[in-house]
Structure 1
Amino acid sequence: MELGCVVRSAEEAEHAAGLAFDYGEVKGDMLCVPRDELPALTARLRRTELPFKAMTSPLPRRYGCRVVGPDADHARALGVFRDMCDRGAALGVGTVVLGSGQARDVPEGFPAEEAGRQFRDFLVAARDVCAERAMTVALEHLNSTETNLVNSCTEARAVVQAVDGAGVRITADCFHLVSEGLHVRTEVAAAGSAIAHAHTSAVPRGSGDFREETQREFVTALLAAGHDGGLTVEDEFADFGREAAEAAGLFHRILDSTAAPS
């Protein structure tokens, strides 16, 4: 399993390149620069020589995209999604993590069945956009403070099964599981072979409390599910250079000890 880190700026990417991370995961917001400034940003990121294998937040909050509810506008959301995927593809991104809680939150009183249908339709369309760029879209379950639609691995797996054959995968996230009070091993097992990617962080983010035994349980469950892709640390580091380095050391110890034969 490779270890990555979410970067929110070119400066963080440059710091991450000097740390013990195998790849960077781009926050979509950092790519939201005017089109004429994008080549310079892309070139700066490439100069770090850090592989950028994933991108999160492909529907940045600033655009106010909505994919469920009476104000859902799939054409506009897909336009934003397509543009973000193009920007990520220029960096070599292969996995697009679809969280975007604000875009999928179901308004009070709106039929849950209709919201589910809208969301599945959007996922299939997003899959097509990704497939055209040799990318994979990986649905991320979020905690209920961020959205009321898909709050567990179990629910994410049900969505993936409902669009069977659409090539939609899952991002399993330890932070969201713990935040929801869910059983880590049970939830990761529910996602199983549909897992394409994984996120983790301190709980709460930015606290420095990674709950090492919980992280070890999460990694063990990912390995048991057959996951051999990326595990990205997605945290809010006040001192990126120091705190990200400490996180990298912690997770390498966990990965090394968990993968070691008993």
Structure 2
Amino acid sequence: MIDKNEHSGRRNFIKSSSGILAGLAASSVAPDLFGSDHNKPQYSIPLGVYAGYNKAHFLKESGCTYIEESVSGFLLPADGDQQYEKNLQQLKSENFPIKSYVILLPGSLKTLGPDANHEAILQRTELVLKRAKECGSQYIVFGSGASRVIPEGFDRAVAKSQHIDLTRKMAPLAEKYGVTIAVEPLNRGETNFINSLSEGVEIVDAVKSPRVKLLCDIYHMLKEDEPATEIVKYGKHIVHCHIAEKESRTPPGVKGDDFRAYLGALKKINYKGGLSIECFVYNDFDKEAKKGIEVLKQQLSEV
């Protein structure tokens, strides 16, 4: 026989336990006990910095997963083929990947206008793609704003047709070497053609190649007041990204720009490509580049 006092005690214990569990479920402790969004991994993407390859070891130690170089600095150096071979050996020795290369064309090689020189551009592009493949790289950035300025008085439709025709001729070369050409929209302070993601997509759609895609540069988007929602709209085309602060193209953390809206848009499209800090002037490269990576990691963790 069960003693009445014992039965009453058990009943009170059950009530008490139920109350405790209910309280836990309603409190902030409950998600951690039963599993919640707090346990999901934070959003992160590969981060890199545009720099000379002599900074590779430093950037690796600073939390980068790759470096971004320039075409003329690494693939087509001024000192010629012998210097390129030295660069290639350094890459193999350091074993820190170069994901992409900027500045495909010098301003003297015009993609459009009366002085367009497609033959010379295609010769240069094929060698660049061949060497990028040798280096195990993924992308050649096709920005080159000075080469695609539409001259005053020149028919805009004709200029656009010229540029598309050239890019269509580049596409089979990119497919041959397995390296993607990333079309980069630039702000109107640098060129008067392809100034937004939508205009970049027009080129990509016209070419219709799996090796001609879109680059999203958050610095240029900020300069053009282009909203982060455009990243979501054109996300399926984006394969690579650049970033810098709006006012003076400084690394994240110098002026304190908040990039969360744009980083959140990248998260929304489940972007997994690289995000490179692309700046051309530093007061203290080591200090500012390292801080830039830290700031990006922090802001990425908060979107």
Task: Give the TM-score of the pair, scaled to structure 1.
Answer: 0.90
Offset of residue 253 of structure 1: 1.3
Q: Provide structure 1 residue ranges, at least 5 long, that are not aligned to the other structure.
A: none
Structure 2 residue 102 is the aligned partner of structure 1 residue 56: yes
Secondary structure at 2:73's aligned position in 1?
A: helix
What is the one-letter code of the residue matched to 1:111? D
Match of 1:101 in 2: 145
Offset of residue 166 of structure 1: 5.8
What is the one-letter code of the residue matched to 1:242? K
Q: Provide structure 2 residue ranges, at least 5 long, that are not aligned to the other structure.
A: 1-44
What is the one-letter code of the residue matched to 2:184? E
Match of 1:179 in 2: 223
Matches within 5 A, 1:223-234: 223-234=267-278
Matches within 5 A, 1:63-212: 64-165=108-209, 167-183=211-227, 185-203=228-246, 204-206=248-250, 208-212=254-258
Structure 2 residue 84 is the aligned partner of structure 1 residue 38: yes
Offset of residue 80 of structure 1: 1.5
For residues 169-227 of structure 1, the C-alpha deviation after alignment (integer angstroms, 9 at most, x for no partner) is 100011001111222x2321232200111110122213722512xx1111111122232
Secondary structure at 2:177's aligned position in 1?
A: coil
CA distance in 1, matches of 2:93, 2:286: 18
CA distance in 1, matches of 2:56, 2:211: 30
Match of 1:244 in 2: 289
Worse-matched range after superposition: 159-168 or 148-157: 159-168
What is the one-letter code of the residue matched to 1:138? A
For residues 144-172 of structure 1, the C-alpha deviation after alignment (integer angstroms, 9 at most, x for no partner) is 11111100011112222222346421000
For residues 46-68 of structure 1, the C-alpha deviation after alignment (integer angstroms, 9 at most, x for no partner) is 3222111111112144xx11110
For residues 207-252 of structure 1, the C-alpha deviation after alignment (integer angstroms, 9 at most, x for no partner) is 722512xx11111111222321111111233322111110111111
Worse-matched range after superposition: 111-120 or 81-90: 81-90
CA distance in 2, matches of 1:234, 1:23: 13
Residue 54 of structure 2 is aligned with which of 11, 16, 19?
A: 11
Offset of residue 106 of structure 1: 0.7
Please provide the CA RMSD for this pair. 1.7
Structure 2 residue 58 is the aligned partner of structure 1 residue 2: no
What is the one-letter code of the residue matched to 2:99? K
For residues 51-102 of structure 1, the C-alpha deviation after alignment (integer angstroms, 9 at most, x for no partner) is 11111112144xx111100110111011122222233222211111110001
What is the one-letter code of the residue matched to 2:94? T
Structure 2 residue 68 is the aligned partner of structure 1 residue 25: yes
Identity %: 27
CA distance in 2, matches of 1:150, 1:241: 33
Contact kept? 2:113, 2:154, Cα under 8 Å: yes
Offset of residue 44 of structure 1: 1.7
CA distance in 1, matches of 2:166, 2:240: 20
Contact kept? 2:197, 2:216, Cα under 8 Å: yes
Contact kept? 2:91, 2:97, Cα under 8 Å: no
CA distance in 1, matches of 2:48, 2:83: 26
